[in-house]
Structure 1
Amino acid sequence: MSHLIASQKVIQHYLAALLTEDESPEPAVKPALAAERKAELNKLLAQAVPVAAPAVVSPVIALKETPKPVVPKVAPKVAPAPTLSKLVEIAARASLEELQGSSAPAILQRDIPIAQRLAEPSPVATVAEKSYRHGRFQALFFSVAGLKVAVPLTELGGIHELGDINTLFGKPRWFKGVMLHKAQKYNVVDTARWVMPEKYDAIVEQGLHYQYLVLLGASNWGLCCETLIDTITLEPEQIKWREQEGKRPWMAGLIKEHMCVLVDVDALIDLLSRGLDINA
């Protein structure tokens, strides 16, 4: 019990730092006020209890856009929130349809030329260019070591239960290995170790119980997660968007209402492919 409490305190401290750090140039905050904000956030985290997610439209993972005929506008029908098992089924089916027939091997660090590893990141869409920033969108919420993470459904490659993982030598510590699922190889990321390597210790490791692999886009990268929370509909104004290029490129923004990090999937894939962690 003591190691779980210690682990929770570590996560609370880390999340408080993310939520209170200025992501864009703003007037300086007085030290007393900043301390008060952090104290209030830690108090909320300690007292937080699961709450029912608002009713959402059943998720539709749009992996490929097709022309849509012009039809008269009708009022949308709101369906009840899907269960976690249904969510896994939908996401996994969409992922298999997208990746069916693909047999691309897992990316190994030794297969990447040194010049490519040290090269500048390949161009990826900036936060401002993301389509979901300009309107209502749905995101999958999941948790890792007490930290909540959200991925836009349009950039979700699928969800699989975590199976046997083949470890590889000479890889970064956050690289757990390769998981084979229906002839498809997935590179498995120890999400907690990748996100907060400086706070990952034996206490945090003992408290982890990974159950699922959340796939990123059409890539063969997947993030380990402990719990699938739900899909939630978000408005752009609910998110504090990352405005500074080059600062935490893997993070599209912060959803303060849910105390959650929104992932920039393209940027995260780019970092993982180059063997870099959050400190890059």
Structure 2
Amino acid sequence: MNDNYIIKTTGLEHRHTKGVKTLTDINLAVKKGEIYGFLGPNGAGKTTTLRLLLGLSKLQTGKIEIFGQEFGTNRIEILKKIGSLIETPSLYGHLRANENLEVYRELYGASKARLTEVLKIVGLDKTGSKKVKQFSLGMKQRLSVALALLPNPELLILDEPANGLDPTGIIELRELVKKLNKEEGMTILMSSHQLSEIEKMVSHVGIISKGEIIFQGSLHALGQLQKKQSSVLIHTSDDQLAMDVLKAYTPEYIGHAISIAYQDEQEIAKMSRALHEKQLDIYLLHPQQNNLEQLFMDLTTQHA
């Protein structure tokens, strides 16, 4: 296995007890230093995959390697280097932030100094005597992340960390994730069902739909795919003739306009010149570029 990979799964498959297949041939690849967004609709298989990575569900088919080691035979050693937040952790509302961490500190083998350090990292070191039940959702989520940070992990796995957060809480989470990656050197794998929530955080993306990976690569590569799916709407004084003039671009007639997929703005300029050469008046020339959220929706809808 390439030492550059922190997580690598091969042919991962899983079935529920009733025999329903939930994962098919999952080949996840997360490199050291990445913030990897694991995206998909609710029920797509994200949590099942993360539970397998943490040994919370039994591996049925396939292979899991973490930190270059086979998970099954090195489970305890590997888990010591992972921090995770899967579903909702148990927080004690009647206790303060530091008291909540103290409950788990010895379990994780962390020092009192580490407890103070993680509270500072997540920005909860000045909450004083404030009880957790008085915390906002964003503050509770940051405290949950602090719990995951107690063992000083190399890898942090977060399952739907933005769930239920208001815009302020999402911004706080975004800044925390970036800080952990940049300043603490952590590789981070985080799941979400909304690309718009985490596209400002992640460097790489894996999109899962109905238990299958339908895209995996850098956020830049996803952006390039978005550009390839862009189209321009054209309406002229004679759309039938325009269809013939632009037939090399495989035009489609939609409603009262022609829709043509394009790669770049130079192609639009060529189309415009071709129409002018045929003395066609152009009433509409409107480029339509999908945003990444729309592309995510299109990809998962097409796979449904």
TM-score bin, normalised by smaller chain: under 0.3
TM-score when normalising by structure 1: 0.24
Q: Report which of the two has the higher share of helix.
A: 2
Larger Rg over CA atoms: 2
Higher RCO (CA < 8 A, seq sep 6+): 1
Greater percentage in strand: 2
